Amino acid sequence: MNSTAQDEITDYVERVRAALADLPEATRAELLEDLPEHLAEIRAEDTVTLTDRLGTPEAYAAELRTTAAAFVGGFPDPPKRRFEPLLEARADVLRILGRADVKVGPVIGYPKASDFLVLLRPAWWVLRGYLAAMAVAYFLDAQSSQVGLLPRIGNSTFVALVLLTGFIVVSIAFGRRRYSLSRWPRLAVQAGTVVLMFIAIGGFFSADSDVRDPGYSDVGYSGNGNPYDYIQDVFVYDNQGRLVPGARLFDQEGQPINMGNPYCSDPDTGEVEHSRNMGFPFCPEAAPFASSAPAAAPAESVPPTLDATPSSPAAPTKTPKEPTPTSASPSR
Amino acid sequence: MDTTQLLKGVLDLAVLAALRDGDGYGYDILRRLRAAGLDEVGDASVYGTLRRLFAGGFLNTYVVPSDEGPHRKYYGLNAAGHAELQRSGKVWQGFASTMDDLLRERETA
């Protein structure tokens, strides 16, 4: 048979299948099981197309449907199942997964994606052992507030390593013997796996957020928790009392400190526009202390501009990052 | 009333009867039924009925390779199929004679 006829048959069967979409899966499968072979027989009888000989696939499906109705010796009723909708949904999901399995496989160089996943089984056994050890340590070691990456009990790394090794060994041994389990133990293992997955996902995101926000303090949450909340701009003065333009602030890790708000309001018009300055201050014209020109640096060690703020004698030199809070809201 | 409606009720019996004379594949059985005078019977009906009778345990099946063309799936009556043919055949004959009597009475009444 040539491939055109084969395509024609496949196409015909698919359209019949689509027209029978509302039948229970078991009945439909039963009806369609032999249809390709049967149509191939018919196609071989004659040179006319299937549609010419048999009518449209939809009409064929309609006729086929009547034979599925119950009459003498009808299809044995499929045994009643209690969770019919769930089972149907499961069948749908499995079908989609099966299709994805075949589609994805060649992309990663395997006939099926599941072939690759099977290779990963021992890796899963190790991971499962680790997760189980973590879960056990977590529940046994309730008083420890912070969970690390090892299954510590009483903050003992040694115990953690022993526990970890033991669980991984058991998990591997278990994985290799899995097939000999009977039904209930197998269900128990699967349920345990689901629980482990939940613990793993929860632990992963908890660890992720701890890494991203290591302080985990209430900075910024309570109204007066962060003493730098009010800062809109930063003015850096050198020890001559001169305003340093384009200053950049870094913490001990070399991470840039971003604070303030890079918008300036024009004192005359009140118009607000984005600062054109890279670094601090964003709005030099709003400096709280008049800065002496860099060219005419005064010789005094104490900047003369400080006269304006007698309440904070050492402010600019000692804490250059924080202009004294007493001169609050510098840019306003 | 057309024959198609009537046929629905007796298609199983018709197919079983067509297989009494020997095993056959789908298209072959369709030809036998048409040759016997059941012109309205469609291929889908025969195919579906064969599938259903097979699922019901009345037929056995085997594949015969063919030199020209695809392999053919043959169906044949098994013991249950023969028994069902007997039983259904009697039911049909009883029903048919009742209908005959009924029609005759109406004609003579």
Answer yes or no: do B69 and A75 touch at CB < 8 A: no
Return d(Cα A261, Cα A234) in angstroms, integer: 10
d(CA A183, CA A137): 29
Residue contact B70–A45, C-beta within 8 A: no
Q: Do B58 and A73 touch (CB under 8 A)?
A: yes
- Contact list in A for residue B53 (CB cut-off 8 A) is 73
d(CA A321, CA A300): 21
- For residue A34, give the nearest of B45, B80, B50 by alpha carbon: B50
Is A49 at the interface with chain B, CB within 8 A? Answer: no
Tokens at B52, concatenated = 């259903």
CA distance A218 to A227: 12
pLDDT, one tens digit for every residue, chain A (332 residues): 556 778 888 889 999 988 888 877 877 887 888 888 888 888 887 777 888 888 888 888 888 887 765 433 444 444 455 667 787 888 888 888 888 888 888 888 888 888 888 888 889 889 989 988 888 888 877 665 566 778 877 777 888 889 899 999 988 888 877 666 677 777 888 888 898 889 889 888 888 887 777 655 544 444 455 667 778 888 888 888 888 888 888 888 888 888 787 888 777 777 777 777 778 888 887 787 776 555 444 444 444 444 444 444 444 444 444 444 444 444 44
Give the span between the Cα atoms of A64 and A82, in whole angstroms.
28
Residue in chain A lying closest to B11 (CA): A67
Residue A138 tokens read as 């977590």
Domain total of chain B = 1
Residue in chain A closest to B4 (alpha carbons) equals: A63
Q: Which long-range contacts (CB under 8 A, 24 or more apart) does B1-6 make?
A: B2/B40, B3/B38, B3/B40, B4/B40
Give residue A8's region: left, alpha or beta (phi > 0; psi -120 to 50). Answer: alpha
CB contact B89 to A (< 8 Å) = no
| Three-state DSSP class for residue A153 | strand
What's the distance, CA A256 to chain centroid? Answer: 27
Q: Which is it for strands B72-77 and B24-25: parallel, antiparallel or unpaired? A: antiparallel
Most B CBs within 10 Å: which of A6, A35, A41, as the mutation test of the B interface? A41
Which 3 state secondary structure label does DSSP give B8?
Answer: helix
Q: What is the DSSP string of B73-94?
A: EEEEE-HHHHHHHHHHHHHHHH
Contact B12 A71 (CB under 8 A): yes
Report whether pLDDT(B95) > 50.
yes
Cβ count near A310 (within 10 Å): 7
Distance from CA of A88 to the nearest CA of B (A): 22
Q: Do B70 and A42 touch (CB under 8 A)?
A: no
Tell me whether residues B88 and A72 touch, CB distance under 8 A.
yes
Measure the CA–CA gap between A162 and A127, rounded to whole angstroms. 16
Chosen from B3, B6, B25, B43 to mutate, greatest number of chain A CBs within 10 A: B43
Domain span at residue B33?
A: 3-108
- C-alpha span between A330 and A285 (Å, rounded): 10
Say whether residue A256 is in contact with chain B using an 8 A CB cutoff: no
> Please, which residues bridge with residue B25 across strands?
B74
| Residue B76 pLDDT | 93
ipTM, interface predicted TM-score of the complex: 0.81
CATH of the domain at B97: 1.10.10.10
Residue A160 neighbours by CB distance under 10 Å? 21
Rg (CA), chain B: 16
- This prediction has a pTM of 0.41
Is residue B11 within 8 Å of A70, Cβ to Cβ? no
Distance from CA of B100 to the nearest CA of A (A): 22
pLDDT tens per residue across span B2-50? 777 778 778 889 999 999 989 998 888 999 999 998 888 888 889 988 9
